[in-house]
Amino acid sequence: MSSTVTPLPAQLDKLVDRFKKRTGPKQRYQQLLAYGQKLPPMLEEDKVAGNKVFGCVSQVYIAADLESGKILYRGDSDAQLVKGLVAFLIAGLNGLTPAEVLQITPDFITETGIPVSLTPSRANGFYNIFQMMQQKALMLLNK
């Protein structure tokens, strides 16, 4: 077998399944908005250039710390829907080791069905947020 696909971590797999079950864009939007409303506020001191996600139309910030070998992400956006994307990724990736985060391919994003519900620039931003989270994981791995 030549498959190199690594299974998704349990919590991310659960979130992907939840979105797969949503039958339309409106349900996905509502779910994302609900996630965004539950996202804890990010400290203003974390909203610095080093935490800014570039390539997003909205202002998006991702910060990460390593605690007992596991990553704890924080994030925020000035757009409610994008805040939901941030919350989705944080819920799916928090508590993983940096190595585990780095093994995840962005294929799961398409699997959720979320990108087809977004404008092309927002869908691209979703990938950029995930890439920033992987960059943070790589930085923590090399500390």
Q: Which of 56, 62, 81, 101 is catalytic?
A: 56
Domain presence at residue 23: yes
Query: Quick check: is 128 in a domain?
Result: yes
Q: Give residue 30's identity as a one-letter amino acid code.
A: Q
Would you state the pLDDT for residue 5?
57
Give the integer Cα–Cα distance in Å for 109 and 137.
18
Q: Per the structure, how many domains does the chain have? A: 1
Q: First and final CA of the chain: distance in angstroms? A: 35
- pLDDT band with cut points at 50, 70 and 90 for residue 4: very low
Give the C-alpha distances (Å, rounded to integers) separating 26 from 20, 74, 117, 137: 13, 26, 8, 32
Query: What is the pLDDT averaged over residues 52-72?
Result: 95
Asked whether residue 4 is assigned to any structural domain, the reply reads: no
Tell me which DSSP letter residue 52 carries: B
Report the range of poorest mean pLDDT among 23-32, 41-50, 88-97, 123-132: 23-32
What's 72's domain CATH number? 3.90.1010.10
Domain membership of residue 119 (yes or no) is: yes
Domain assignment of residue 20, yes or no: yes
Range of the domain at 110: 10-141
CA atoms within 13 A on the CB side of 85: 31
What does the H/E/C string look like for 70-102? EEEEEEEECCHHHHHHHHHHHHHHCCCCHHHHH
Q: Assess whether 29 carries a catalytic annotation.
A: no
Residue 44 CA, distance from chain mean position = 20
pLDDT beyond 50 at 101: yes
Cβ atoms within 10 Å of 43's Cβ, excluding its own: 11
Q: Has residue 1 been placed in a domain?
A: no
The reply to whether 2 falls in a domain is no
1: confidence class by pLDDT, cuts 50, 70, 90: very low
Q: By mean pLDDT, which of 4-13, 64-73, 100-109, 128-137 is the weakest?
A: 4-13
Residue whose tokens read 């087809």: 116
Look at the block and give the residue holding tokens 């691209």. Answer: 124
**The pTM is what?**
0.93
45 domain residue, yes or no: yes
Average pLDDT score, the chain: 92
